[in-house]
Structure formats: C-alpha cells, structure tokens
Amino acid sequence: MIDWYGVFHNALWVLGLAIALASLSYSDWRRRTSEPRIGFRAMLGQPGFQAVFSLGMVLFCAGLALGGASWWQIAGWALLAFAFTWLAFTSWRRLRRPQADGVDADDPGDESDQS
C-alpha cells in the first residue's frame, strides 16, 4: 500500500527546495546578463529574489516538519518555516510599496519641464 502522507510531505520539501534553487539560478542568470552588472550580494538583497526564495524555504521547512520523528525536530522546522514566512511577507510588501525616496515611478522628472 502507498503511504500517501509520506509521499505528500516528501513532495513538499522537494518542491520547496526546487523553488529555492530555481530562484537562485534565475537570479544569478539575470545578474550576469543585466547591464550594469550587479554583485551577488546585491542580487540576494533584492525583494523579488527574497520573496520567491523564502516561499521555497517555507515549503521545504514545512515538508521536513511534517516528516519529523520527534517533537523537537517538528518544533525546529516549524520555527524556521514561520521565520521564512515572515521574510517572504516583508519582502513581498517591499515589492508592493511605492518608491520610498519620494519620486514617483511614472514621473519623468526634469524632462517634462523642457520645452
């Protein structure tokens, strides 16, 4: 008989790790092909990367928490999952927030004043 619970929690952590590694790979490719080229640390600090990577890590931690053998393993993975959930939420909010420097993204600046 197939252990569907085992299939579910193992598929969850494999999917989460695949999302996290795919976000690393995609962001590194974007970093290498962009002009001007940005550094690896700057790429890791971008909210778009952090949101997707954290979502993958939430799934990874949740899958390992569901497959934990003892209470301290479950508690540790659940704590990490909540931490990555918070990081994903704050990164997503930074993506949705308007520019903090007071300049509108649609405002062309000094170009509209020229005649």
The answer to the question of residue 52 being in a domain is yes
The answer to the question of residue 114 being in a domain is no
Summarize the confidence of residues 40-52 as an average pLDDT.
89
The answer to the question of residue 26 being in a domain is no
The answer to the question of residue 83 being in a domain is yes
Domain coverage including residue 68: 47-96
pLDDT tens digits, residue range 64-113?
A: 999 888 999 999 999 999 999 999 999 999 988 866 555 555 555 555 55
- Banded pLDDT at 36 (limits 50, 70, 90): confident
The answer to the question of residue 18 being in a domain is no
The answer to the question of residue 68 being in a domain is yes
pLDDT of residue 115: 46
* Structural domain count of the chain: 1
pTM comes to 0.77
**CA 56 remoteness from chain centre:** 6
- CA dist 105 and 95 (Å) reads 13
